[in-house]
Amino acid sequence: MTHPNGKIMNIIGFSKYGKPTQLKKISVPYPHGFDASNNIVIKVHASAINPVDKALLSGDLKMIRPVAGFPHVICYDVAGVVEEADLEGKFSVGQPVFTRLFGNENDGKNTPWYRGAMAEYCVADTANVVAKPDNLTFEEAASIPLVGMTALQVLKSSGLKEGDSIFISGGAGGVGTMAIQLAKHVFKAGLVVTTASKGEKEKLCKSIGADVVLDYKNTKFEDIYGASSAEKFDVCFDTTSESLKMAKIVKNGGQIVTIAGMPTLEEIRRIGGTAWILKLFLKRKVKRKEYKAAQSMNANWHYLFLSPSHEDLSTLAKHFESGVIKPVLDGVWDFHSEDKEAGWQGAFNQSFSGRAKGKCVVKIIS
């Protein structure tokens, strides 16, 4: 694992599965031993946190996507500049880029640390890297990949068309803020309804395109939109594990897509999960009560996992560059500070609390 020249870098990572308190700032070797033909080294300027990072840290995903080894660098959304270019010449040294780091495998080199983003340097497959739009800061660019591509892939898979109605649960979250904007301003949905708490989050959702924001603490969306068939939705997008209730508000022939809760066996297989043990605790789509509820309303239900897509990230970059959609950041924290509120620990505490508005980002280069 030691770098041939002894070069090291600082990371935020964990040496065993567990609680957020397992996260530590530690030193590991500078990236080396990777295939330079189609990989670049990025000098990280900013990295963003996602709820899935908490699940990965806790070990909840180890049956599906175990980390390659320890210590493991947390987070996979990153923006920075190219430190070492690929041999194929797709990118040049000093070029500003952003990406989602897919494939935290060790590539047979016993070098798992270089695939994480909460570090001073990381390695990225050029197939997933896109040039950073000039009008975005590194912090804004780092906030985009997972939530932006997830929202885009869900909306594409749902068949949402211009003039359609869509219900999005959890509108103030990272995926929710992207889904609202894409649905309203790119897919041209005729009606966008979402849920959020009253006050700042309600105002945020309306400011980015939501037509109606329901107070989830005091309102049941299935009661408001479940009574009349005239008020039901062409598409329901679940980010909060409420897709079962959405069967009451989806139109005949409509679509319910979820990214929350337990995935289906088919979706795990689609993204490359093949472990036999998955069959013991994952159900096939047709066995899921959410699917059966949707079918009873002559609608469809499916689970979606994010897939790598250079095309989707490039599409998002163009929308951000044109100003059609905008990044939504809860705040920016300092990688180098050990202050539990202003430093990197504060970012993880806020993101993992579930109270964030948009994305929590850590600035690594000031």
pLDDT one-digit tens code per residue, 61-75: 777 677 777 889 999
Separation between Cα atoms, residue 3 and residue 11, nearest integer Å:
15
Separation between Cα atoms, residue 67 and residue 145, nearest integer Å:
20
For 113, counting Cβ atoms within 10 Å of its Cβ (0-12 exposed, 13-18 middle, 19+ buried), the class is: buried
Q: Write out the two tokens for 258.
A: 């979820």
Separation between Cα atoms, residue 359 and residue 327, nearest integer Å:
9
CB 147 within 8 A of CB 177: yes
pTM of the full structure: 0.93
- pLDDT of amino acid 139: 98
User: CA 236 → CA 165, 216, 244, 259, distances in Å?
Assistant: 9, 16, 11, 11
- pLDDT of amino acid 279: 55
Q: Is the dihedral of CA 285, 291, 292, 295 positive or negative?
A: negative
Sheet bearing 72-73, strands edge to edge: 24-29, 8-14, 72-73
Separation between Cα atoms, residue 195 and residue 205, nearest integer Å:
9
- pLDDT of amino acid 204: 98
- pLDDT tens digit sequence for 268-283: 777 666 554 455 456 6
- Flag residues of the chain having pLDDT under 50: 104-111, 276-277, 280
- pLDDT of amino acid 110: 44
Please calculate the CA angle 115-119-120 and round it to the nearest 5 degrees: 115
- pLDDT of amino acid 6: 77
Q: Do domains 8-144+327-363 and 147-303 have the same CATH topology?
A: no
Separation between Cα atoms, residue 355 and residue 349, nearest integer Å:
10
Separation between Cα atoms, residue 319 and residue 337, nearest integer Å:
33
Domains of the chain: which residue ranges?
Answer: 8-144+327-363, 147-303
Q: Coil, helix or strand for 265?
A: helix
DSSP state of 234: E
Q: What is the largest CA-CA distance in the chain?
A: 69
| Residue 16 neighbours by CB under 8 Å, 6+ apart | 22, 70
CATH code of the domain made up of 147-303 = 3.40.50.720
Separation between Cα atoms, residue 292 and residue 301, nearest integer Å:
8
Q: Write out the two tokens for 30.
A: 């500078």
Tell me whether strands 121-125 and 191-196 are parallel, antiparallel or unpaired. unpaired
| Residue 323 neighbours by CB under 8 Å, 6+ apart | 135
Separation between Cα atoms, residue 121 and residue 9, nearest integer Å:
7
CATH domain 8-144+327-363 topology: Quinone Oxidoreductase; Chain A, domain 1 (3.90.180)
